Amino acid sequence: MFKRKKEFEPFASKVWLSSPTMHGPELEYIKDAYETNWMSTVGEHILEAERMVCEKTGCGYAVGLSSGTAALHLAVRLAGVGPKDVVFCSDLTFAATVNPVLYEGGIPVFIDTEYDTWNMDPASLEQAFQLYPDTRAVVLAHLYGTPGKLEEIQKICKQHRAVLIEDAAESFGASYREVQTGHFGEISCLSGNGNKIITGSTGGFLLTDHKEIADKARKWSTQSREAAPWYQHEEVGYNYRMSNVVAGILRGQMQFLEAHIVRKKQIYERYQKGLADLPIVMNPYDPQNSRPNYWLSCLLIEEEGMCRQVRGEEESLYIPEHGKSCPMEILEALESIQAEGRPIWKPMHMQPMYRGSDFITQKGSGRATTDMYSKSKKEDRKIYLDVGMDIFQRGLCLPSDIKMSKEQQDRIIEVIRACFE
């Protein structure tokens, strides 16, 4: 391997990408569940956590579930997705957004990303409806806590009478035109996973304004019992209900959601300032219409600032160069000081398991990106538009833990700056 451009003192303890931060009330609620023996999937904390989530998001109903993935699975079923049904999905996202479509035998078709918010591109979505006019469901994720182009996407979904499922797992507390993410989909999902903006150690919520949908979700999540004295079953069920202990943690964390967002925003702005003169941009958002929750701070290296880097399926190589860097070099430098960064989600259409799936993109229009694998001179490089792949190649997630001190972040900024020396 090449020698790093500059060595830095590692932190005494690891600085995480995004780890749980507890405050106190969580423990009181856990203790209460324990002392009263309400340790199962029934109890006051579940109802209270659901109420608080409704109050925050403005949704009529919130159903506490075991995870965000469970919520997405029920959402896909509730949207009526069955075997061989095409579902349009965000492409640049975590696999959990899409896997539930497969659980139900559906066929995901991936929609390319736009550069303004790194979310689903409305023009590509519209094009997808031209190609698959019978599609009736769209799964939209808000990447890293930044709301997508909701006005356009909602409009397109309405026009084509498709159900919008919103995956707000990463964007709890973020809003678009004063409306919280999670309140745009006919069915939406939140996650209480350990690295999200608040956590219940696990857990999730299904959100909706429709009582029938909420009732169904509640029934399916508790093994689909009918109202009979014995175990009577008319349809398939799941063991997806939230635990009262998990709900207690979430109930405690809910009080700190806004405080977490304030810290995350500070972190984002410090990076923005500290890296301002480098050939990079931070993960963008629409300041006119949206307020992100700043869950993860990410950067994208300008093409002129990229050293040469190739990525195979499971390994990568780069050639260090003065004045330039690449995601792998920065990630290695962060690791050398015990700071945790992460590559951008590898787009779903690039994943081996989804290689046969269709991917809809705006070939030949908008901003052309560079083929990173091409060795030819810049002018001759193959021009094509695959925004998700481009962001994956040039971007990375920075340590965004709210327990990171200012001094720690300053050192991280120095380390990143040194990569461009």
Ligand X SMILES: *Cc1c(COP(=O)(O)O)cnc(C)c1O
d(CA 284, CA 159): 28
Is residue 69 at the binding interface for ligand X, with CB under 6 A as the rule? yes
Residue 119 touches ligand X, criterion: CB under 6 A: no
Residue closer to ligand X, measured from CB, 318 or 345? 345
93 binds ligand X (CB under 6 A): yes
Check residue 191 for interaction with ligand X (CB under 6 A): yes
Residue 96 engages ligand X in binding (rule: CB under 6 A): yes
What part of residues 362-381 is at the interface with ligand X (CB under 6 A)?
A: none
Q: Is 204 in the site for ligand X (CB under 6 A)?
A: yes
In the complex with ligand X, the residue whose CB is nearer, 68 or 395, is: 68
Are the beta carbons of 201 and 246 closer than 8 angstroms?
A: yes
Does residue 185 bind ligand X (CB under 6 A)?
A: no
CB of 143 to ligand X, least distance (A): 7
| 181 near ligand X, rule: CB under 6 A | no
We find the least distance from the C-beta atom of residue 414 to ligand X, in angstroms, to be 29
Closest residue to ligand X, based on beta-carbon distance: 68
- In the bound state with ligand X, the residue whose beta carbon lies nearer, of 72 and 416, is 72
**Does 141 participate in binding ligand X (rule CB under 6 A)?**
yes
Q: Which stretch binds ligand X (CB under 6 A): 24-32, 66-74, 117-125, 331-339?
A: 66-74
Looking at 88, 94, 118, 176, which residue binds ligand X (CB under 6 A)? 94
Q: Tokens 């021009």 correspond to what residue?
A: 383
Q: Which stretch binds ligand X (CB under 6 A): 125-133, 164-172, 248-256, 348-356?
A: 164-172
- Is residue 167 close enough to count as binding ligand X by CB under 6 A? yes
Cα separation of the two ends of the chain = 18
Residue 300: φ, ψ to 5°: -125, 125
Q: Min. distance of Cβ 204 from ligand X in angstroms?
A: 5
**Nearer Cβ to ligand X (204/388):** 204
Q: Which is nearer to ligand X, 72 or 419 (CB)?
A: 72
Which is closer to ligand X, CB of 191 or CB of 297? 191
CA dist 138 to 79, 103, 111, 112, 245, Å?
A: 9, 16, 10, 13, 33
67 lies in the binding site for ligand X (CB under 6 A): yes
Query: Where on the chain is the footprint of ligand X (CB under 6 A)?
Result: 67-69, 93-94, 96-97, 141, 167, 169-170, 191, 193, 204
